[in-house]
Amino acid sequence: MKEKIYLSSPHMSEEGFELQYVKEAFDTNWIAPLGPNVDMFEKEFAEYVGAEHAAALISGTAAIHMALKAAGVSQGDIVICQSLTFSATANPIIYEKAIPVFVDSDYETWNMSPKYLEQALIKYPQAKAVIVVHLYGLAADMDKIVELCKKYNVTLIEDAAESLGTTYKGKHTGTFGDFGIFSFNGNKIITTSGGGMLVSKNKEHIEKVRFWATQSRDKARHYQHSEIGYNYRMSNVLAGIGRGQMKVLDERVKRKQEIFNYYRERLKGISDITFMPINDWNSPNCWLSSITLIGSVRPNHIIESLNEENIESRPLWKPMHRQPVFEMYDFVGANVADTLFRNGICLPSDTKMNITVQKTVIERILGLYRK
C-alpha cells in the first residue's frame, strides 16, 4: 500500500519554530488556557493581516459564532450567507436561533454574487448580517460587497477560514468587513491543530468576545456570571504552535501557488478543464487547487483514479441550500453554486507533496482523457 497523500495536511516548520514556543509553555508550566503565547499570537496575527484587534479562539466556527453575537444577531433575525461553503459558515446562525438566507455565487470569483446579494437585501431589508466566504483562498468581489452592506446598513462578516495570506487589491481578506474570521484547523494553510481567530476594527467588540469566550466571568472575587458564557478561548500551548506557524506562512502561500501554477501549466491543453478564477485584483493563497470539468470525464472519475494511487481529492463544497439540514430556508440566485458543485473537484494541494506525486496526479488525469 502506497503512503497516503492527503488533500491538505498539517505541515510543521522544518526549523522547529513551533516546538520552541511549546517548550517555553511547558518550561513555565503555562499550559492552561490563556498566557503569553495567546497574547503574542493575537498581536502578531493582527499585525500580519493588518487588523486592529484580534481574539484567539478554539475554532473558526467559534469565531463566526462570536461575530454574530457581537453583531447583535438573535432569535428570528435574518442572516444572509453564501451558499457555496462548508457548513461551519452557516451553523452558528442556527446557534443563535437566527434565520439563514442563502445567496448564490458568480463564476468570476466562485464566491457570493453581488447581484444576488443585492436581490437578497432588497427582499430582506431587515437583515442583520451578511457572511461572505473567500472560498479556496479566492477573494470575493469585496468592493461591491462592502458598498452594498454600507448601503443597506448591515454588518459584514468575512469567513476567511480558507484565505489566510490572500489579498484583494493589496489588502488582506478578513479585514474589509466589521469582523473577519480565520481557521487553524489541521487542513488549513497553517494550523494549531485546531483553533481560530476573530479580528475587528472595534476594540469593544473584541474585548466583549474575549469575555464571552472565557465563560463570561464577571469581575468579582467569587465566580459570578451575569451573561451566558462559552469555553471558546485558545490555550497557551496551541497559541505557541500558531506563533511558530506564522513564521512559515509566507513559505506555505508560495508553495500553494507553485502547486496551482504547475497544475495549470501541465493541464492547460485540455479544453474540458477550467481552473478556479484568478483575477487581476486578487492574489490568492491557492489553499486548494480546484478545477471544473465539462465533457465525459467527471469529477468522480478523477477521484476514483487517484484513489488507486492512495491520493486524496474531493468534490467542491455542496451548497448549503442543498443540504438536508438547511433546505427549508430561502435561496436567492440561479444555479451557479449547483453547477460548480456538480462539475468541480479539489486536487491534492498538500505543501509536503513532492513533484513526483504531483506528476502522478497529472498523469492520472491526462490518462482519463486519452481513453
Same domain as 210, residue 83: yes
Provide the domain limits for residue 198. Answer: 17-246
> 208: buried, middle or exposed (CB in 10 Å: 19+, 13-18, 0-12)?
middle
The H or E element containing residue 89 is helix 87-95
Same domain as 35, residue 153: yes
Same domain as 231, residue 95: yes
Contact 337, 307 (CB under 8 A): no
Same domain as 172, residue 31: yes
Among 62, 133, 126, 58, smallest CA distance to 92 is for 62
Q: Is residue 227 part of a domain?
A: yes
Same domain as 259, residue 204: no
Domain end: 220, 246, 272, which one?
Answer: 246
Same domain as 233, residue 293: no
CATH number for the domain that contains residue 68 = 3.40.640.10
Domain end: 192, 226, 246, which one?
Answer: 246
Angle, CA 77 vertex, CA 76 and CA 81 arms, to 5°: 125
At 2, the amino acid letter reads K
* Residue 98 cell numbers, joined: 437566527
> Which conformational region is residue 194 in: left (phi greater than 0), alpha (psi within -120 to 50 degrees), or beta?
beta
What is the reported pTM?
0.96
Angle, CA 140 vertex, CA 136 and CA 145 arms, to 5°: 155
> What does the alpha-carbon distance between residue 58 and residue 56 come to, in Å, rounded to a whole number?
7
Q: Is residue 10 part of a domain?
A: no
Same domain as 228, residue 102: yes
Overall size of the chain counted in residues: 371
Same domain as 334, residue 188: no
Same domain as 242, residue 130: yes
Domain count, the chain: 2
> Coil, helix or strand for 291?
strand
Q: Is the dihedral of CA 169, 314, 87, 293 positive or negative?
A: positive
Same domain as 298, residue 281: yes
The DSSP code for 170 is: T
Domain end: 246, 265, 300, which one?
Answer: 246
Same domain as 223, residue 146: yes
The number of beta carbons lying within 10 Å of the beta carbon of residue 111 is 26
Q: Tens place of pLDDT for every residue, the chain, 371 residues?
A: 688 999 999 999 999 999 999 999 999 988 877 899 999 999 999 999 999 999 999 999 999 999 999 999 999 999 999 999 999 999 999 999 999 999 999 999 999 999 999 999 999 999 999 999 999 999 999 999 999 999 999 999 999 999 999 999 999 999 999 999 999 999 999 999 999 999 999 999 999 999 999 988 888 889 888 989 999 999 999 999 999 999 999 999 999 999 999 999 999 999 999 999 999 998 999 999 999 999 999 999 999 999 999 999 999 999 999 999 999 999 999 999 999 999 999 999 999 999 999 999 999 999 999 87
